[in-house]
Amino acid sequence: MNDSALQVQGLRKVYANGKTALDGVDLQVSKGAFHALLGPNGAGKSTLINILADIVRPTSGLAKMFGRDVFHERAWCKRHLGVVPQEVAFDPFFSPVEVLRITSGLFGRKPDDAWINELLDRLGLAEHAHKNTRQLSGGMRRRLLVAQALVHRPSLVVLDEPTAGVDVELRRSLWAFMRELNRSGTTILLTTHYLEEAEQLCDHVTIIDGGRVVADQSMRELMEVVAGRYLYLGYGDDFELSEADARALSAFRPRVMSGGICLRLGGQGSEGHGFHQVYEAAVSRLGIPRKVEIRQEDLEDVFIRLTGRARHERSRA
């Protein structure tokens, strides 16, 4: 039994201008997962999503959706896929209700008005349902894109930065809605810049950088094993790290942060450097700090560390 909603193998994309956006990406999204696809700007996330959506042509590689070949059984796959594009798109001739009825129809489904009303309601668009889309704010247009992606009830929903420009309250209600959909069996692949939200929502995470996968783990595993602890030493607002000090402490991957420095400790598996070793090395270079804290890395820290490291490794190669 194949229980993956999406399986991507060796996907490559080289654009006409010679830029390699995807350099052999493998990705597996399990059925029913809430999967985060993270990466810095230009990492290739949108290219990957746009290839699945048939907006961009792949250079080579394979993709399967629910076991079917995406590139050969396009129509079937498209009916089961809903994509929220990163770039805002709106039809200036129609109202949100009309746009949703049209989108549903284009996907081969007679518009289901009860579902359309529910979507408008859940996405905070009900009172704007009959306005022209030109009158909608940027945030509303973006929420309309979410509704458009869901209107044909796809089994796999891909959200490419769905909350950019959406205010906090609506973002929360959007996530609550996505959670509900996920619980009722919809597989969700999400890219977002709000890593805190990804950490809370997603059960699996793939990080890509420079067109390659640099991490692919369950969220829990990533946060327990990969996410380490670090030592924060506060020296005051005017703190600066000299190059010589940075070099001397490079084994601990120093990072300047809010008037102090972060130095990496070992992970929970206790490999790496112990507290005393790191603390003494730092004090011998920088003096006694005013503040000492041991902090657990969050997803953002891991993300910066992994994508930073990936860049470093490639430039050496």
Q: Choose the binding region for another protein from 54-62, 163-171, 180-188, 205-213 (rule: CB under 8 A).
A: 54-62
Q: Residue 153 contacts by C-beta under 8 Å, 6 or more apart in sequence?
A: 109, 115
Closest separation between CB of residue 189 and another protein, Å? 15
Q: Which of 103, 187, 191, 192: binder of another protein (CB under 8 A)?
A: 103
Closest separation between CB of residue 117 and another protein, Å? 19
Closest separation between CB of residue 300 and another protein, Å? 30
Compare residues 110 and 316 and give the one whose CB is closer to another protein.
110
Q: Which of 3, 9, 10, 15: binder of another protein (CB under 8 A)?
A: 15
Per-residue x/- mask for another protein, residues 148 to 187, rule CB under 8 A? x---------------------------------------
Q: Which of 10, 67, 105, 274: binder of another protein (CB under 8 A)?
A: 105
Closest separation between CB of residue 294 and another protein, Å? 47
Closest separation between CB of residue 102 and another protein, Å? 5
For the range 111-116, what are the long-range contacts, defined as Cβ-Cβ under 8 Å and sequence gap of 24 or more?
111/151, 115/151, 115/153, 116/147, 116/151
Compute the chain's Rg from CA coordinates. 23
Residues 58-97 binding another protein (CB under 8 A) are: 74-76, 78-79, 81, 83, 85, 87-94
Compare residues 103 and 206 and give the one whose CB is closer to another protein.
103
Compare residues 19 and 247 and give the one whose CB is closer to another protein.
19
**CA–CA dist 169, 280 (Å, integer):** 45
Closest separation between CB of residue 103 and another protein, Å? 6
Binding of another protein by 23 (CB under 8 A):
no
Neighbours of 12 (CB within 10 A): 17
HSE at residue 298, side-chain half, CA atoms within 13 A, is 8
Neighbours of 104 (CB within 10 A): 21
Q: Using N-to-C axis directions, what is the helix angle for 138-150 and 96-106, rounded to 10°?
A: 30
DSSP secondary structure letters along 213-255: EEEEEEHHHIIIII--EEEEEE--TT----HHHHHHTGGG--E
Q: Which of 108, 138, 274, 287: binder of another protein (CB under 8 A)?
A: 108
Query: How far from 163 is each of 19, 20, 299, CA to CA, in Å?
Result: 28, 27, 18
Closest separation between CB of residue 170 and another protein, Å? 22
> What is the size of the binding site for another protein (CB under 8 A)?
33
**Residue numbers of the site for another protein (CB under 8 A)?**
15-16, 53-57, 74-76, 78-79, 81, 83, 85, 87-94, 98, 102-103, 105-110, 148
